[in-house]
Amino acid sequence: MKILVTGTAGFIGFHLAKRLIERGDEVIGLDCINDYYDINLKYSRLELTGINRKEIVDGQITQSTKYPNYKFIKLKLEDREPVLELFRNKKFDKVCNLAAQAGVRYSIENPFVYIDSNIVGFLNILEGCRSSGVKHLAYASSSSVYGLNETMPFSTHHNVDHPISLYAASKKSNELMAHTYSYLYNLPTTGLRFFTVYGPWGRPDMALFLFTKAILEGKPIDVFNNGNMQRDFTYVDDIVEGIVKVIDNPPTSNNEWTGKSPEPSSSVAPYKLFNIGNSNPVKLLNFIEIIEDLLGRKAIKNFLPLQDGDVPATWADVEDLEKILNYKPKTSTKVGVKRFIDWYLNYNA
């Protein structure tokens, strides 16, 4: 298939592009390579897929030196005409949109960035898919959409109308926008609610990266909600495997759906939502203990209250993922954290 993957200089996008390339798909990667975090890490990811940073020119396609079936373009999703032109010229079979402005806390300080990238940019993706006959759009949503919901585990069959960060609101908006296009234009769309993704080549603003770096440097780590946090940490390879299964299985209309009792995760339109999580929440202090054991060093803990926009716990109900796609993430936290630390020590050697 010819697949557009956005966000391929990013953490999950890099891993997904590599997986699709290696199975033989023709892939075009897209990323704006912004400076939300260290751009050298982003360029290093790209170079692993044969994209030379010196050859990247804004708006122009760069051919991979490693994979003949991979090309890359540096582009902002919110730049409407160049994005729509890319769709017109390339005629993608399928699209996986992972590009977005990430970060819950950052969205409180920089709200306009999230509207530009996550709302305007996503609309451009939808329009590109609609106008060029894309057969399936898969896109990243987030566990943050569950917001004030306290019913555990979090299920896609629950309503999610009370987000507590603009980032979460932007992801909920993506789900609503996708449903509209599925209904109006018969565009199959699948939203993927990711749960705290971690692993090699991970983001420097995420807990595992921050904790590992600080512990090795003998600096204190910030432990929010005084350690009373639980997260459904999900290893990146498990996320990628779930995405691939979703890409290969476009949704169809749910014939049992009714507007008198509307089920949130599906529709009369070709629309579906899935959680992708390990379905095994881990207490933050236990997570830190795993890192300490693997590093052979103790963390200096700075206990702090719950931050604005954060939720105290996440836990993914993946029953639909198992039932419909016969898939469930399986990498244990200890195994996943060890793989990250091995990568981190090698990358920073």
Residues marked active site are found at 167
The residues, ordered by sequence, that sit 6+ positions from 221 with a Cβ below 8 Å of its Cβ are: 210, 211, 214, 215, 288, 299, 300, 301, 302
Neighbours of 104 (CB within 10 A): 19
Q: What angle do CA 11, 17, 18 make, to 5 degrees?
A: 95
Q: What angle do CA 64, 20, 235 make, to 5 degrees?
A: 115
Peptide bond into 163 cis (omega under 30): no
> Among 274, 248, 272, which residue's Cα sits nearest to residue 192?
274
CA dihedral 254, 258, 263, 269 (to 10 degrees): 40
